[in-house]
Amino acid sequence: MPTNVSTIRKGRRVSTIASDEFDHWTRTDFRQINTDLEEIYFAQEDRAAVIGVGEDLKSKLVSVGEAHVEALLAEGDTHQPFDTAFNTLGNLGLFMAALRRHELTNPDKETESPFKRCSALCLRIASSLGVAPRFVSPHLSANNYAVNGVQKAFTNLPDETIFHDYNLYSILYYKRAAEALVHIPELGVSASATALMLKEAKYALEQVALYNKTLFDKLDVDRFFYSVRPYFKSHRVGKINFRGANAGDFAGINQIDLLLGLCSGDDLFYGNILAEKMQYMRPEDQRDVQRTLRIQPLMEGFVESADKYADTAWFQENCKLFLEVCTAHGRTAAQHQNMLVEKYIKRPAVNMESQHLKQITASGPPLDELMNTLTHLRDLRIAAPRDDIDTAHAKIETLKAALAGKT
């Protein structure tokens, strides 16, 4: 019997035999098949040519995966705890994403997933949990339980491990920054403890910047572009086409945006981002974003205080720290766009053969459209001076002037 995540975690059997065996497969043979296929693709002159290549391995992937799906369906709904069901959904999602990566399904060529039994199971589990019926980034990051030091992944390629590891480190520190900031609205911008929490958030965001930079230095461009990124494409589950996971599918980054006041739920652009993202987050993250949308941003608190309190000690200390946190958050957003997306998506796409260019992004829109969205997000987070969109630039300038005694 394979040792499985849920058996170890709870110290008692809360998973089923079929979900244990499926989990074991995703950690072992599934990874090996994907790795073998990646090595074949990567050795070709056109590394993006996938159709008709490695057919034996692909049929093994389909037949073994589908046998696991049948075993899970045969066991039926066993009233599993949330974490066990979420884990099984993640495993089914990894399987479906691999089928998409190997062009065994393609949402542009179909109106419904050919993997009907697997789709049905994903839809049933996802509906019971209140999440999207596919793997989402928490399955490979903050909810990716390590067995004997190894977390789940699609392949055994070292670059995939690098990608997941540094994504996870950044995510954990974004969460830590959000957890610090979330205390402040209850304390008020003038509390002495607010300074502590701002320092904590600043430190955490500096750690995000450190891990983003390390990822930038360590990850091989070609391996990421040709062998890792393709597992993050959109695919159909049943009839609906679901976008691929991205490292942003957690509440923390949006809590920081909203709490600082760099982004607003009333802004149509940002509101769309949040609404779209909801089902890709775990339910507790969905609730965190909802709660944050009902809180007054710290930016407003400082701007309202600027006239009256600019020369007080608390304003000088807390507002200075607040602006440093805004700068630290903006820096991570600029790194994401100007370093990571530029180096690992935009530049390699230039050299890609035109027939493969379609769908190179996780969410499906053309690359230019995606770049515009990510640039817009970056500019909100860095409070860029832009005439065409509403950013927090003017408010930041007001606070800087208040600190300098120029109001």
> For the range 308-316, what are the long-range contacts, defined as Cβ-Cβ under 8 Å and sequence gap of 24 or more?
309/190, 310/402, 310/403, 310/405, 310/407, 311/405, 312/190, 314/190, 314/191, 314/192, 315/190, 315/402, 315/403, 316/403
The answer to whether 322 and 286 have CB atoms below 8 angstroms apart is no
Does position 362 interact with ligand HEM (CB under 6 A)? The reply is yes
| Residues binding ligand HEM: number (CB under 6 A) | 23
Which parts of 107-126 interact with ligand HEM (CB under 6 A)? none
Residue 363, interface with ligand HEM (CB under 6 A)? yes
Give the H or E element holding residue 242. strand 240-242
Among 37, 184, 205, 370, which residue interacts with ligand HEM (rule: CB under 6 A)?
A: 370
Cβ neighbours, 10 Å, residue 202 = 20
Stretch that binds ligand HEM, among 60-68, 149-157, 245-253, 323-331 (CB under 6 A): 245-253
Q: Which residues contact 77 (CB under 8 A, 6 or more apart)?
A: 124, 128
Question: CB of 121: closest distance to ligand HEM in angstroms?
Answer: 26
- Nearest residue to ligand HEM on Cβ basis: 248
Instruction: Enumerate residues 118-177 that contact ligand HEM by CB under 6 A.
Output: 166-167, 170-171, 174
d(CA 25, CA 285): 29
Site string for ligand HEM, 45-84 (x = CB under 6 A): ----------------------------------------
Residue 92 tokens read as 């089914």
Quote the CA–CA distance of 164 and 168 in Å, as a whole number: 6
Interactions with ligand HEM, residue window 282-341 (CB under 6 A): 336, 340-341
Beta carbon of residue 166, minimum distance to ligand HEM (angstroms, whole number): 6
The answer to whether 97 contacts ligand HEM (rule: CB under 6 A) is: no
Residue 121: name the closest of 154, 84, 88 by CA: 88
How far lies 43's CA from each of 49, 113, 231, 278, 360, in Å? 11, 29, 18, 39, 20
Residue 102 or 378 having the CB closest to ligand HEM: 378
Whole-number Å distance between alpha carbons of 234 and 264:
27
CB of 263 to ligand HEM, least distance (A): 9
Q: What is the DSSP string of 219-239?
A: S-HHHIIIIIGGGG--EEETT
Give the CA count within 13 Å in the CB-facing half-sphere of 168: 18
Instruction: Give the three-class secondary structure for 338.
Output: helix
Closest CB to ligand HEM among 167 and 305?
Answer: 167
For position 237 contacting ligand HEM by CB under 6 A, the verdict is no
Contact status: 235 vs ligand HEM (CB under 6 A): no
**Neighbouring residues of 327: CB distance < 8 A, sequence distance ≥ 6:** none
Closest CB 83 distance from ligand HEM, rounded Å: 22
Q: Give whichever of 69 and 215 is closer to ligand HEM, judged by the CB atom.
A: 215
Task: Give CA 384 to chain center in angstroms.
Answer: 24
Minimum Å gap between C-beta 225 and ligand HEM is 9
399 binds ligand HEM, rule: CB under 6 A: no
Q: Which stretch binds ligand HEM (CB under 6 A): 18-26, 111-119, 154-162, 361-369?
A: 361-369
The residue within the footprint of ligand HEM, chosen from 98, 215, 256, 259 (CB under 6 A), is 215
Interface residues with ligand HEM (CB under 6 A) are 166-167, 170-171, 174, 212, 215, 219, 224, 246-248, 253, 336, 340-341, 344-345, 361-363, 370, 377
